[in-house]
Amino acid sequence: MLAGLFKAPTKYAPHINLPAARARANVVLDNLVDAGFMTEGQVFGARRNPATAVDRRDENSPNYYLDWAFDEMRRLVDTFPKSYNERVFVVRTAIDMNVQRAAEEAIENQLRQFGRDYHATQAATVVADLDGGVRAMVGGRDYGASQFNRATDAYRQPGSSFKPYVYTTALMNGFTPNSIVVDGPVCIGNWCPQNYGHSYSGAVTLTQAITRSINVVPVKLSIALGGKSPNPAKVGRAKIVEVARRFGITAPLPDTPSLPIGADEVTVLEHAVAYATFPNKGKSVTPHAVLEVRTGAGDLVWRFDRDGKKPVQAIPASVASDMAGMMSHVVSEGTARRAALDGIPTAGKTGTTNAYRDAWFVGYTGNFTCAVWYGNDDYSPTNRMTGGSLPAQTWHEIMLAAHQGVEIKELPVSGPARNCLLPPRRSQPTVLRSRRISSRGRRQSSPGAAPISWYRWKRCSTTPPKPGAIRQNP
């Protein structure tokens, strides 16, 4: 095929006209046989298995991000004054190529190593800063194979990662992180939700319920939120949807009994940026790629910090802080321990849907928010993949890269008695042999346990840390 290019390189280039290139390659093979350099038997294999062009031009291009940014810019241009006759604009986006590459590599590495075992073929992720600027976006494993952007256009069930909206609604309606709800059988009509382990825990606090990802408690909360109305569950779900809208969720969210445990569908992009409301002290932000637009001559046309949509106080700051405290337990001792970042306060929520069709982890720090989704385009089940497995591991890898060289910010965690998670002291290794914290705050040996990550605690109230407050990272 390469020898055939000399006659007409443009005409026979395989990336331009592959059939013509293969036909020309056959002519070259005929000439080799006619000239006696090769026999017909020797060229038989080449005729049966013609060469295929491999296009590597876009290997390092963030195509999913650029597609989405282009659509945003196209909508933005329609809002410009009619006096602008420019055909060319110079656009500065929020993308961080280091984070983008880390996100792409993390997803590819996880799918290559574990995708077959988990029967998972696709993934998507979005990383954003707390003003909604999207730093990285991966819409699928291979843009060349599929240009469908699973981060922006795919609606997938979020599973338990939807529950923070339910708990937020509860905190806004008189509940507290320490409110007790009985984890026991409940039915709405003929639908009776089950917990992951098909067992019940009895009386639990809301913090314990979200940490263990109990399904029954959010459903009972949706009923309690309805008060004494004739159909309390329906009224309660309407309140939950209204709060989710405040966060920035624009997906349809039809009213179904299973809505509180994540049966309705959302996009990765909206879900990721909605979680920024928690570290933002209750202010919701708009996801965006474009930061600045200039004309070809360099004149400023539009700037997000001046002309873009401003943050909106979606929920009270005290509720956001309480939620951050509750969700930090999910990472430190709950279903998302694989997501924990040494020395960086982290909070989030895992999500796993029926038949393991979708697996999520959505989490945030004081600097960034990030959502990771794994599944299959045809909605076929994965092999028991949960949000605490590949999604949490991938999130961990991406966020490690995102926080390189960044000043670490604290999460706004509040409560009547709290302990603040701080980075480890420089003189203290971040990974030690098995240890645990006693009620007096002293390290004690625990033979045979796995290595764990250590954090130091700052006393923020008169209440000391509870025994075992620092848990193992699996």
Closest C-alpha to 287, from 130, 61, 75: 130
pLDDT above 90 covers a percentage of the chain that reads 72
The answer to whether the Cα torsion of 80, 81, 87, 89 is positive or negative is: negative
Amino acid at 33: V
> What distance, in Å, lies between the first and last C-alpha atoms of the chain?
53
Q: Where are the alpha helices (DSSP H) in 213-316?
A: 216-224, 232-247, 268-274, 304-307
The answer on pLDDT for 148 being more than 90 is yes
Alpha carbon distances (Å) from 58 to 13, 15, 54, 121, 460: 18, 13, 11, 21, 51
Give the pLDDT of residue 435. 31
- pTM of full prediction above 0.85: no
Tell how strand 312-313 and strand 431-432 pair up.
unpaired
Are 471 and 332 in contact by the 8 Å Cβ rule? The answer is yes
More reliable by pLDDT, 474 or 16: 16
Quick one: average pLDDT of 97-112?
A: 98
Give the pLDDT of residue 461. 32
Q: How confident is the model at residue 48 (pLDDT cuts 50, 70, 90)?
A: confident
Q: How confident is the model at residue 21 (pLDDT cuts 50, 70, 90)?
A: confident
Amino acid at 373: W
The answer on pLDDT for 474 being more than 60 is no
Q: How confident is the model at residue 454 (pLDDT cuts 50, 70, 90)?
A: very low
Name the percent of the chain in helix, strand, coil, to the closest 5: 35, 20, 45
The answer on pLDDT for 54 being more than 90 is no
Closest C-alpha to 371, from 339, 345, 341: 339
> CA 369, CA 362: separation in Å to the nearest integer?
8
* Residue 468 CB neighbour total at 10 angstroms: 12
Q: How confident is the model at residue 42 (pLDDT cuts 50, 70, 90)?
A: confident
What secondary structure letter does DSSP report for 191?
A: B
The answer on pLDDT for 302 being more than 70 is yes
Alpha carbon distances (Å) from 218 to 175, 234, 392: 12, 13, 22
Quick one: average pLDDT of 296-311?
A: 94
Angle at 196 between CA 264 and CA 415, to 5 degrees: 80
Share the mean pLDDT of the chain: 86
* Residue 388 CB neighbour total at 10 angstroms: 23
Q: How confident is the model at residue 57 (pLDDT cuts 50, 70, 90)?
A: low
What secondary structure letter does DSSP report for 153?
A: T
Alpha carbon distances (Å) from 408 to 304, 343, 365, 372, 470: 24, 9, 9, 21, 20
Quick one: average pLDDT of 109-134?
A: 98
Q: How confident is the model at residue 86 (pLDDT cuts 50, 70, 90)?
A: confident
More reliable by pLDDT, 269 or 464: 269
Give the pLDDT of residue 414. 67
Give the pLDDT of residue 453. 30
Domain boundaries, the chain: 3-48, 420-474
Residue with tokens 């605490």: 388
> CA 306, CA 303: separation in Å to the nearest integer?
5
Quick one: average pLDDT of 50-56?
A: 70
* Residue 147 CB neighbour total at 10 angstroms: 12
Counting DSSP H helices and E strands in the chain, the numbers are: 14, 18
Quick one: average pLDDT of 25-50?
A: 84
Tell how strand 431-432 and strand 435-437 pair up.
unpaired
The answer on pLDDT for 417 being more than 80 is no
Give the pLDDT of residue 5. 72
Quick one: average pLDDT of 14-34?
A: 83
Q: How confident is the model at residue 128 (pLDDT cuts 50, 70, 90)?
A: very high
The answer on pLDDT for 370 being more than 90 is yes
Give the pLDDT of residue 441. 37
Three-state secondary structure call for residue 212:
helix
Tokens (6 digits) for 25: 């390659």
> CA 404, CA 426: separation in Å to the nearest integer?
17
> CA 184, CA 196: separation in Å to the nearest integer?
13
Give the pLDDT of residue 51. 79
The answer on pLDDT for 443 being more than 70 is no
pLDDT tens digits, one per residue of 261-289: 999 999 999 999 999 999 999 999 999 99
Q: How confident is the model at residue 124 (pLDDT cuts 50, 70, 90)?
A: very high
Give the pLDDT of residue 85. 78
Paired strand residues for 370:
127, 363
Three-state secondary structure call for residue 1:
coil
The answer to whether the Cα torsion of 163, 166, 171, 174 is positive or negative is: negative
Quick one: average pLDDT of 5-33?
A: 80
